[in-house]
Amino acid sequence: MTIKKMKLAPILLLGFILVLSICQTSAHKYQEFTVANDELEDESSLLTYIVHVKKPSLQSKESLHGWYHSLLPATTKTLNQKRIIFSYQNIVDGFAVKLTPEDARALEEKEEVLSTRPEKIHSLHTTHTPSFLGLQPSQELWKSSDLGKGIIIGILDTGIYPSHPSFSDEGMTSPPAKWNGYCEFTGERICNNKIIGARNFVKNSSLPFDDIGHGTHTASTAAGRPVQGANVFGNANGTATGMAPDAHLAIYKVCNNNGCTQSAILAGMDAAVEDGVDVLSLSLGIPSTPFFEDGIALGAFSAIKKGIFVSCSAANGGPAYATLSNEAPWVLTVGASTIDRKIEAVAKLGNGAEYLGESVFQPKDFASTLLPLVYAGALNTSDDSILFCSPTSMENIDVKGKVVLCELGGLVERVDKGQAVKDADGAAMILMNSQNHAFNPISDVHVLPAVDVSFSAGSSIKDYINSTSTPTATVLFKGTVIGNPLAPQVASFSSRGPSKASPGILKPDIIGPGLNILAAWPFSLDNSTEQFNIMSGTSMSCPHLSGIAALLKNSHPDWSPASIKSAIMTTANKVNLHGKPILDQRLLPADVFATGAGHVNPLKANDPGLVYDIETNDYIPYLCGLNYTDKQVGLILQQEVKCSEVKSIPQAQLNYPSFSIRLGSASQFYTRTLTNVGPVNTTYNVVIDVPLAVGVSVSPSQITFNEVKQKVTYFVDFIREDKENRGDNMIVQGSIKWVSGKYSVSIPISVVFM
């Protein structure tokens, strides 16, 4: 069996940093300016800057464009209209423009200009998952939410492959009357009743077609229609369905093979808000940065003010701590977990030992005969990179007919390692995880017979190679296996907290399926009729939560974005299918910096009982408490603010459904306010899982709700206890739960001792 040569990007690029390009659009009702490179003097000296201005009194787009045009320095007057790439109106006040650093400094001196900064680089960060998450036609959430009917999910990604069966509109209703978007595929108001809008914001790409596959995969995960017989190489066979299969999709292409520019992302978010989306899904981000410099955070704040829920990927920097993207408390930050499906393969050694791993590519014509086994690191001791099986290091290396043991890492993609072995005439590959990624192998679509195994297994295989002069091995293929009791488990690559941008807010918020996720793909990988692919990353977990948010928004149209987030977080699972605490890649209990509130439970989120709501004005004292300047807070809020006139609050005082405490010798006192969205005349009692060496008191300990939407505030004291009670632990965790009958409204606590 051979794999069809890929015309798109490789299968998965965990932590793939894209070089960003300047983007443009020919979108209907959205004004932009094209850049003619041959007309710009000294093009190499020009950078793209995001310019934020004070809120203008002008209303029409034409007037705004003219005003933005007038602000540019005199040195650009003959060419300035061609310098402006995008102008923004709905999420931020300002524009994107190509300038020299000198021109940018001159522009920032103008009274009307709040900031001028170079745009930042952003990186791109399922058959079985609906069943794994409990979503079934007979279950209450899919019924009460009408499968997401009438909800519009905006996907900012690499575009879409519109003719895929996952995007069929058979039986779907027309888009709601509020839809204000446009389809560049058809030149009309809609593409079909599934993909109701598709717009391109990428330079040198006239239509929003997906030339990578990432956007097609994420869109179908969020809202793909049911497609029977979905599989990859015959594995993971079943009916592929998105989380909200009857929701509409609005596509905004902001990334391509060359990357995703901040200017294009802002333009896509600006258009999505104007178009009338209900949910925004962004599987991309930048490393931690202050919120006033983070384009996604800025756009998301304007979106939530209009009632739009924003779901973002946490990034793929794990298992290292403090590696998050998208940390703003007004977005849902989504980490990645495993599901209970594996596509198993086995590395069998000549001594009879077998080591279980995974691989999507499982050729039926590969014999199970033992073959000579070699460790790549021993093939050329003068080249340290050869242990990673890099293409350059494997040149002129003869491994004909052998099984090659390669190590993860070395800035070489996993599939590329297999290609290097294949090019050197190797028969098969065993790919061992790094020590950091431990027991968390990924199912890859390899180009030769291969198996991904744990670090422990790989170390044992190396020991075997060193123990005999004639080591042998083969790869056995076991196919799809469902029912892993350790699921969900935190994926090793999923970025961890604590948040750098705001340590007093616990992030990530939630984890959801992100490892080995099957979803739509623009072409078949094996020359069959099935156009699906298996990918891994927080890019995959984010659209799961975007689709779930769409269901909740339809089931509870009066809930705010903060209420939806609270419902998701306070009902999250803390245990795996075996009833034990969720584990990390080391098979040890995962901490809250890995899991956030826990693993999403959509059915419970639909009926949380109580929520922690946040009004948009509640963020003003929080942002002032971050010691941002008035101008920086104003950039986020899109309004003038004087923090000297605001009673600022510590970060942990925001009415967030978690606590992240940095505890010194002094006790700390906070409040939280609960809103009843469940039955009336219901009494809740508090249950505290007290963190080690921390005294926690909650008052009152019992609350009765007599009305729907009734709000009640409770008080929490955190008191540091003797060090002897905690030993060497500098970080401890616990929880506060409000319990009444079937309801258990839980928020996690993280305490860092200072």
- Residues assigned a catalytic role: 157, 214, 539
Nearest to 479 by CA among 621, 332, 356: 356
Nearest to 599 by CA among 513, 482, 506, 473: 513
The token duo for 163 is: 């003719």
Q: CB–CB of 425/400 below 8 Å?
A: yes
Sole residue written with tokens 């623009």: 522
User: What phi and psi values does residue 207 have, to the nearest 5 degrees?
Assistant: -130, 155
The token duo for 537 is: 């990353």
Nearest to 471 by CA among 338, 327, 352, 612: 352
| Neighbour tally for 340: CB within 10 Å | 20
The rounded distance, in Å, linking the Cα atoms of 200 and 207 is 6
User: What is the distance between the terminal CA atoms of the chain, rounded to a whole angstrom?
Assistant: 58
Integer-rounded Cα Rg, in Å, for the chain is 26
The rounded distance, in Å, linking the Cα atoms of 684 and 746 is 12
Q: CB–CB of 407/387 below 8 Å?
A: yes
The rounded distance, in Å, linking the Cα atoms of 268 and 270 is 5
The rounded distance, in Å, linking the Cα atoms of 43 and 46 is 5
The token duo for 305 is: 């003010």
Q: CB–CB of 247/148 below 8 Å?
A: yes
| Neighbour tally for 578: CB within 10 Å | 11
The token duo for 225 is: 């229609």
Q: CB–CB of 157/253 below 8 Å?
A: yes
User: What phi and psi values does residue 601 have, to the nearest 5 degrees?
Assistant: -125, 90
The SS3 of residue 552 is: helix
Q: CB–CB of 564/583 below 8 Å?
A: no
The rounded distance, in Å, linking the Cα atoms of 132 and 421 is 36
Sole residue written with tokens 């990927």: 313
Sign (positive or negative) of CA dihedral 600, 604, 606, 611: negative
The SS3 of residue 479 is: strand
538-555 vs 214-223: helix axis angle to the nearest 10? Answer: 30
The rounded distance, in Å, linking the Cα atoms of 265 and 286 is 12
Distances (CA, A) of 382 to 137, 258, 388, 410, 618: 60, 34, 14, 16, 60
User: What phi and psi values does residue 632 have, to the nearest 5 degrees?
Assistant: -70, -40
Angle at alpha carbon of residue 63, lines to 58 and 68, rounded to 5°: 90
- Bridge partners, residue 745, by sequence: 738
User: What phi and psi values does residue 604 have, to the nearest 5 degrees?
Assistant: -70, -35
The token duo for 371 is: 């073959």
| Neighbour tally for 665: CB within 10 Å | 7
- Bridge partners, residue 535, by sequence: 517
Distances (CA, A) of 709 to 335, 407, 683, 684: 30, 55, 15, 15
CA-CA-CA-CA torsion for 561, 565, 570, 575, nearest 10 degrees? 160
Give the DSSP per-residue string, 661-674: EEE-SS-EEEEEEE
